[in-house]
Structure 1
Amino acid sequence: MTDQDMIHDTAPRGLRTWLWIAGIVSIVMGGAAVLFPFAATLAAELVFGAILVVSGIVELVRAFAMRHNGSLAWNALFGLVAVVAGAILLAWPLQGMVTLTIVLGVFFLLGGAFKLVAGFGLRPFPGWGWIGFSGALSVLLGVLVLFGLPGTALWAVGLLVGIDLIFLGVAEIAMASALARE
C-alpha cells in the first residue's frame, strides 16, 4: 500500500471533517474581522503584546536558570526587551496599532518592489506578468496604507487578517471537498 493509498484509506473522513470545521471557523472569524476591522486590529495588537510579555518572562526565567553557561546577560537582556516591548504595546494599544500598520505598509511597499523586479526578471517565461502585477498591487497597497496613516491604523491590520482567514477557510474547504471526491 502506498502513502497515497493510506491517506485515502485511513485519514479522509476525520481529515475532511476537521478541514470543514477549520474552514468554516476561519471564514466566520475572517468575516468578523472584515466587518469589525478596528476590533480585529486592536485584538491582534493586544495579542502580540501579550505574546511578547509572556515570551520575555520565559526568556528571563530561562536566562537565570541557565546562568552558568556564560550568556546570562545577553539572554536576560533579550527577555527584558521582549517584556518591555510587550508592555508598551499593552499600555498604549492605539500607538501600537499605528506601529504595526507602519510595519505592514513598509512590508507591502518593499515586498511589492521586490516582486516587481522579480517579475521583470522572469520576463521571457509565461506568466511573468502575474508576478509583476502582484508586485504592483503590493506597492499600491503599501502606499495606501502608509499615506493613509494614522487613519489606516484603525482598520488595515484587522481587514487584512480577516481577508487572509477567509481565503484560508476557502482553501481548507476546497481541500476537504477534493478529498471527498477521491
Structure 2
Amino acid sequence: MSTITPRGAETIGTNWRPLAVTGGLVGILGVLAIALPFGTGIAIAYIVGAALLVAGLVHAGQAIAADGWTGSLWQVLLAVVTAVAGILILANPLLGLVSLTLLAIAYLLVDGIAELLASVRMESGTGRGWIAASGALSLVLAGFLWVGFPADALWLVGFAIGVSLVMTGVSMIAIAFSVRGMEGEFSAPSDTSRGV
C-alpha cells in the first residue's frame, strides 16, 4: 500500500541541507543583531531610507516616461513623497528608527500570525512546534515594542529583529533535521501505480 505525500515534502526531504545551512546563517545574523541592537537599528534605518529614496526616484522616472499624463501627476507626487521620506530617514536615522519601530511592530505581528497559521497547517513531526514557538515569540516581541514605544525604540528594534531571526533560523534547522530521515523515502522510485 502506497502513501500519498504532499508535493513539498519530497522537495524538503531531498534538499534538507540547504535549508539547514540557510537556517544557520539566519540564526547567526540574529545573534549579531542581538549583540549590536543599536547598530542594527541604525543600519535598518539607513537601508530603509536608501530603499525609499531609490524607489521614489525610479517611480518618478516611470511616471514621467509613461504615455499620456492622465494620473501621472499623482504618481509623481507619490514618488516625491517616497523620496523625501527616504531623504529624511537618511538625514536623521534616529528619528527614522523611531518610525521604524512602528514598522517593526507591524512586521512582527504579521510574521507571528503567518508562522502560527503555517504551524496549524503542517503535519506533526515536521517541526511545527518550532514554527509555532517562533510565531508566538514574534507576537510577544511585537507587544513589548508597543508597550515600550517610543522610549525603547533606539535599542529594542534591533534586539527584537535579532531574536526573531534567531527563532526563524532555529525553526528552519529543526525542520531540516526533522525531514532529513525522509531523504531515502523519496529517492527510490515506487513500483506501484500512481493511480488512485
The two structures have a TM-score, normalised by structure 1, of 0.71
Q: Measure the CA separation in 1 of the matches of 2:27 and 2:8.
A: 29
Instruction: Decide whether aligned partners of structure 1 residues 11 and 99 sit closer, same or farther in structure 2, where only a CA change above 3 A counts.
Output: closer
1:17 aligns with 17
- Listed as ranges, the matches of 1:118-133 within 5 Å are none
What one-letter code is carried by the residue in structure 1 that aligns with 2:34? V
Instruction: Decide whether aligned partners of structure 1 residues 137 and 26 sit closer, same or farther in structure 2, where only a CA change above 3 A counts.
Output: closer
TM-superposed deviation, 1:88: 0.3
Q: Measure the CA separation in 1 of the matches of 2:155 and 2:166.
A: 16
1:32 aligns with 32
Instruction: Decide whether aligned partners of structure 1 residues 141 and 26 sit closer, same or farther in structure 2, where only a CA change above 3 A counts.
Output: same
2:6 aligns with 4
TM-superposed deviation, 1:62: 0.8
- Tell me if the contact between 1:33 and 1:161 (Cα under 8 Å) persists in the aligned partners: yes
Q: Measure the CA separation in 2 of the matches of 1:76 and 1:34.
A: 39
2:164 aligns with 164
- Tell me if the contact between 2:12 and 2:179 (Cα under 8 Å) persists in the aligned partners: no
* Per-residue deviation, residues 91-143 of structure 1 (Å, max 9, x unmatched): 111111122235656x59xx7xxx9xxxxxxxxxxxxxxxxx99x95786245
2:185 aligns with none
TM-superposed deviation, 1:36: 0.6
- Tell me if the contact between 1:45 and 1:100 (Cα under 8 Å) persists in the aligned partners: yes
SS at match of 1:70: coil
2:86 aligns with 86
The two structures have a TM-score, normalised by structure 2, of 0.67
- Alpha-carbon RMSD: 3.1
What one-letter code is carried by the residue in structure 1 that aligns with 2:144? L
- Find the partner of 2:148 among 141, 145, 150: 145
1:124 aligns with none
Q: Measure the CA separation in 2 of the matches of 1:165 and 1:71.
A: 41
| Alignment pair present for 1:48 and 2:51 | no
Q: Structure 2: which 5+ residue stretches go unaligned? A: 114-135, 183-196
TM-superposed deviation, 1:5: 6.6
* Per-residue deviation, residues 34-79 of structure 1 (Å, max 9, x unmatched): 1110011111111111111111111101101114151110110111
* Per-residue deviation, residues 135-159 of structure 1 (Å, max 9, x unmatched): x95786245412xx44x12211101
SS at match of 1:164: helix
- Tell me if the contact between 2:26 and 2:166 (Cα under 8 Å) persists in the aligned partners: yes
What one-letter code is carried by the residue in structure 2 that aligns with 1:19? L
Instruction: Decide whether aligned partners of structure 1 residues 76 and 84 sit closer, same or farther in structure 2, where only a CA change above 3 A counts.
Output: same
Flag the structure with higher helix content.
1
- Tell me if the contact between 2:53 and 2:84 (Cα under 8 Å) persists in the aligned partners: yes
Q: Measure the CA separation in 2 of the matches of 1:11 and 1:103.
A: 32
Instruction: Decide whether aligned partners of structure 1 residues 161 and 11 sit closer, same or farther in structure 2, where only a CA change above 3 A counts.
Output: closer
SS at match of 2:6: helix
